[in-house]
Amino acid sequence: MRNILQVFTDIAQKEGISITNLEKTIGASKGVLSRAINKGTDIQAKWLLALVDNYPQYSAEWILTGNGPMLQKDSANSINKETDPEVLREKLVNLQSQLDALEKANNALEDANDSLKETKFILQKRIAELEGK
């Protein structure tokens, strides 16, 4: 019988993350998985379900039984979609729109900052005048 905890280690390695980061991703407290892995103890089934929910590219059958392919059949297609020029072009257009909006917001904040500096200067000048009287 295979050690179910090995699944968490395999996925963390495949994703290039630590067990601690995997714990964060699935909503487990720090050390829940690492302690179980180190001690060889059981974990709650909810962490397996959270793993399936948070890593849909991995086959639920493989996660639970170790049988079948590690990755879902659709995950190869999703990788191809992520590198498809049209998809990348659309992402680039969206990012450019976000950048334009952020630049406008930044300009508005700079204008508001300049206005506040002028107000501060006027108020400090008025305070000085009142204190001088």
Ordered by start, the domain boundaries in the chain are 5-77, 84-132
Rounded to whole angstroms, how far apart are CA atoms 74 and 32?
Answer: 30
pLDDT at residue number 72: 87
pTM for this structure? Answer: 0.54
Enumerate residue ranges in the chain where pLDDT < 50. none
**Which residues, at least 6 apart from 110, have a Cβ–Cβ distance to it below 8 Å?**
none
- The verdict on domain 5-77 having CATH code 1.10.287 is no
Return the pLDDT at 115.
95
Token pair of 83, please?
């590198």
Task: Find the DSSP H helices in the chain.
Answer: 5-15, 19-26, 32-39, 45-54, 60-65, 73-82, 85-132
